[in-house]
Chain A
């Protein structure tokens, strides 16, 4: 436990309710921004402001619903539950939630749950496209996790702690010179690439791949299940953006400085995504294990020499 002020019970409860809620709202804005920026790159206007909300409400208000068995239902809960839990462990300005009680490793562990849930649920659909998609998703996880873990370990070594709250405090206290991107630029680059892979966007979009496996895991998702996936997308963008900001961009003391950083991180991802095609599965692994992993190892080496 850190030296933070001991939390009252009600404060904790408020955090537990508010943090996923804030994550969802910010996530909606991130999704909107991603779609608008994409539209701009493609030289068109793009969707209206409320479009992400329309989509989600529409999907949740479908009149009929196809379930492919109880595992399918449980999997959706795992999927959303995993992300909601992850939000509670991510410190944001003013709210620490359970971040004091769990550390970075807990978070990494929790962030694997959604993918696992998806795998279980899609396996119940008996659609070969879904199964291929899931095997590709797990392969992609294998690819991006190597540089990701190295980058995270390096960051922990630099900060000397794996507690996210303390990491934020260290960066806040030292100013921009102590931000992760300044103290360990190589690890920051590797982290950016691996987190891009985590989002599953081009060029690492191997498990959605509409033209190959018809959106893979999402192929049998209808109505409310699809709605859950849209909600998950909000959480996913938020989680990745906040995690990167926390580790390498100094986290945030107040929302006014914190949110622009999160949006900037996602903006980088979106800008990269829309001018690249999709690599093949084996190319993704080869590339991920070569460049980001190499950069991360080099960064780790520098960090270890420094330490």
Chain B
């Protein structure tokens, strides 16, 4: 615990070297860092090289249609300092392109492939953006907020009509399944 207490100040020193980076310590060994798209690779590089944040736990992508942005969150963990930095970066939805961090963190290869598949974001320099999960899929990237699952399901699949006796009785009395 003591290490994570002293962490924000030492992290501050490093973050000063990178323009456009803001840090917010949070509870429980978590630190949120907001970065600009340009400085993110440098941030990860510095975190890995100087602070030992060498385990890329995950890359999460969030779709924000209101602001027309994708938010990418890089969760990096330090085995030495026992704390987790979540680096947030927002990129424009329209080209949907970002630089790959595969050369810094090898695990990024899978996460970038996954985000490319689910959100359509292109990572320049990622080693393998071939389809992995959705090889039989030719619709839009399914995780986009604009993709309506229920609509797609109703168009594509058929249902068994489930109207058992007991339900019809209840419905006859004015009840039924509340939706």
Q: Do A and B touch each other in the complex, judged by CB within 8 A?
A: no
Residues of B within 8 A of A (CB): none
